[in-house]
Structure 1
Amino acid sequence: MKFYFLAALTFLTLLYLYPGPRLDIATVPQRQDVLGYDRALFGSWQPHGQCTTREAVRLAQSTQASVLNCRVTGGTFYDPYSDQAVSNSEAVEVDHVFPLSAAWDMGAHNWDRSKRARFANDPLNLVATQRSLNQQKSDSLPSEWLPPKKRCAYSTRLAEIARAYELSLPTADVSVMRRQCRFEFLLPG
């Protein structure tokens, strides 16, 4: 009986102490609306080989893609937000994981145009997803929106982007992100 009690106690201790993925990022009390945001300040889709970054992301997340002049016109896309395959290429958009307007509010307003364009075209910050999910998300951070699936992976990626570009996140968003990953080690694959 003692063995089972000790095993259960050890398991509960591990659940409580498990640190989860690395979400150590700078925080601020809340997101401030910084005047002057305009999508054009982040530039357009940059060349990525012979295609644009947008089409390169769509191509990277597709299988059996139909491509015409670097434009993905068909195929099946893996959507990490829904964890589903999407077969309608017209229903797929490229999302900025760390929304551009949120980045503006969190520090990108101080960047030069070159760094903003690099951020907007960084494959780390881009994901092909269903148009409906992209529109639901809009410019929201995790306290306002989370994907229906793979929430820990989304939170971890957002934290990685924030660290890479030295962007802060509001405390409420980081708290939500940490909750998504709390028991991730228990989930299969």
Structure 2
Amino acid sequence: MQRTCRARGRTTAVLFALLLAVVLAVAAAVGVSDEAEAHRASAREQLAELRVKPAGSMVGYSREKFPHWSDAREYNWTLPSGTPDPGSCDARDAALIRDGRDEVVGSGCYVERGRWFDPYTGKTYYMPSDIDVDHVVPLANAWRSGASSWTTVKRERFANVPMDVLSVEDNANASKGDKGPEAWKPPRAAYHCTYARKWIGIKHNWTLSVTGAEKTALSSMLSTC
């Protein structure tokens, strides 16, 4: 009888532990779901606030109108302690350091190697030569949607601040070019939600417009969140 009681007690304890684990897992899942819904709602609200208008002219555009890869420290980049010669880091260097893992950085802030997960393709790369630092909203797209009227100082800030750039595989970046989400989406569908939120957040922050097709594509991508 005593052994039976002990066995029942152990069984009850195991069942209770399993039940508790299930309850905690469900609570965590609900928490993640609520957070994801909040992010999606915020992105939809921002998208609704963006001006919808046809793409502007490319007359006068050149990448040089957006001075880029400027001094990282001037544009609020945070570099890890121990970075050799941080004063030499430009925004591109800083993006590679931020987005990578196990980087080896030499003098002059030269990123020699590391490990980069490309969110566009879902693949991992180990040499910085395989990585481009992408302007999430391409410079030409920004020009067509309002940046043509900005000062050079404002365009330089757009091209260098942390929120506007992302380290990705070079061929994926080349495929994207200056296309909006109505014409190009990351090959990795699992990233569509995050990509749409980033794109919307940048355009909202800089008061840039969207085309009708662009807005439709962004709305559709948000439905994957």
Q: TM-score range by the shorter chain?
A: 0.7 to 0.9
Alignment counterpart, residue 39 of structure 1, candidates 63, 78, 82: 63
What are the within-5 Å matches in structure 2 for residues 86-165 of structure 1? 86-149=125-188, 150-165=191-206
Higher strand share: 1
**Which 4+ residue blocks in structure 1 deviate beyond 6 angstroms?**
none
Whether 1:63 and 2:101 are equivalent positions in the alignment is: yes
Gaps of 5+ in 2: 1-36, 74-86
Between the aligned partners of 1:57 and 1:91, the Cα distance in structure 2 is: 14
* TM-score, reference length from structure 2: 0.70
Q: Deviations over 1:27-64 (max 9, x none)?
A: 33432333100111111311114200110000111111
Partners of 1:183 and 1:109 lie apart in 2 by: 32
Alignment of 1:161-180 (within 5 A): 161-180=202-221
TM-score by length of 1: 0.83
1:82 to 109, 114, 121: 121
Rounded Cα–Cα distance in structure 2 between residues aligned with 1:106 and 1:44: 19
Tell me the percent identity: 28
Q: How many residues align?
A: 167
Verify the 8 A CA contact 1:91 1:131 in the aligned structure 2. Answer: yes
1:128-153 residue CA offsets vs partner (Å, 9 max, x unmatched): 00000000000000011000120110
Matched letter for residue 68 of structure 2: S
Structure with higher Rg: it is 2
Contact 1:48–1:56, Cα closer than 8 Å, also in 2? yes
Task: Report the residue type matching 1:182 in the other structure.
Answer: S
SS at match of 2:56: coil
The structure carrying a bigger helix percent of its residues is 2
Root-mean-square deviation (CA, aligned residues, Å) is: 1.6
Choose 52-61 or 68-77, whichever is displaced more: 68-77
Contact (CA 8 Å) 1:30, 1:172: kept in 2 or not?
A: no
Alpha-carbon offset, residue 73 of structure 1: 1.4
The aligned amino acid for 2:162 is P
